[in-house]
Structure 1
């Protein structure tokens, strides 16, 4: 019996350094706007060349209160680059923003911004949303090319998910 314990301890000590090197899996509780195509959707579709966001468009998460397309996440900084060839979707003065959620967090609010102006807010009251969710947003106070920042404020964490959508208001 002592030899088994000694052998098990030796094996454990030998593999421990390798266990530390194994990366942890990413959480699947994320979401993004897929229509009109957000910047991360354009990356995932290959419309615009991007880095790692191509494979995980749902992962733009950062602290609540940010106003950046990358959610302050350096891995996805290309989403903040307005010089990229983002395609602006022609819309009228109203738009329906469709979210795809890979898992549903209980949600405080959904917010939509153009610049520093909050153009819409939807209170989820801490409930879990469905896997597909849409919001109709009135953008009649704006025209031409605009970047809409859509924010999903999670109810039970300090984080939010961020998605920027380039639109051409009044072009449809």
Structure 2
């Protein structure tokens, strides 16, 4: 046995908390419903772009197969992984209902750069993975913070819009559902109807939370069969 030097003891005191912090971060990122995710919420069915990428690849985001199997998630992870880790944070505050005046065309899926420019990859057109739906389908909000809702507005892109080539603008959307209020809950599900569509579309959900003037803007890619 060799004697432990003061330098070695100091080094261990520094390294140990650093390693603990790294392990803690990894645990946070890999947890299915982490404390970070519980801070806010998002649409998980049909999956939002950021949530879908995190759900499919959060535990395997360095896998090069993502580039071929899920290219839009790949480009989002390359741009900034925090967009997916913070899949619940696409919100803006104090807009007073002035959504179209606050979020420019082409920036709807990032909520107008809601994460300080980190989420702009969500605005890029391309082959986003879709959820199969019919003309009538359900929208499911997951929110462990249980903010509740003053209302939801659900829009769907008009027939002829191509999410693989076109950046999303307000004129591309048709309002198909506006709900009333919901009390605080971790899960809120409601039904919408969007007939007359086929193929790849974007469902755009606006969730006005009840606890303060905090509004979430969420893109989900769907395939109408």
Is the 2:148–2:185 Cα contact (8 Å) retained in structure 1?
no
Equivalent pairs, count: 142
Matched position secondary structure for 1:70: coil
Higher strand share: 1
Is the 2:41–2:143 Cα contact (8 Å) retained in structure 1?
yes
Structure 1 gaps, min length 5: 1-25
Q: Per-residue displacement from partner, 1:65-115 (whole Å, max 9, x unpaired)? A: 1561111122211111112x3111121111111111031224211110123
1:78/1:102 CA distance change after superposition, 3 Å: farther
Is the 2:147–2:185 Cα contact (8 Å) retained in structure 1?
no
Residue 179 of structure 2: aligned partner = 122
Indicate which of 39, 59, 72 corresponds to 2:89.
59
Residue 144 of structure 1: aligned partner = 199
1:27 Cα deviation after fit: 9.8
The equivalences for 1:67-146 within 5 A come to: 68-72=108-112, 73=114, 74-83=117-126, 85-114=127-156, 115-124=172-181, 127-146=182-201
Is the 1:58–1:102 Cα contact (8 Å) retained in structure 2?
no
1:149 Cα deviation after fit: 0.5
Structure 2 gaps, min length 5: 1-35, 58-69, 157-171
1:28 Cα deviation after fit: 5.4
1:123/1:79 CA distance change after superposition, 3 Å: same
Residue 168 of structure 1: aligned partner = 223
Matched position secondary structure for 1:41: helix
Give the TM-score, by structure 2 length. Answer: 0.57
Matched position secondary structure for 2:202: strand
Is the 2:152–2:207 Cα contact (8 Å) retained in structure 1?
yes
Give the TM-score, by structure 1 length. Answer: 0.73
User: Partners of 2:186 and 2:199 in 1: how far apart?
Assistant: 31
1:58/1:27 CA distance change after superposition, 3 Å: closer
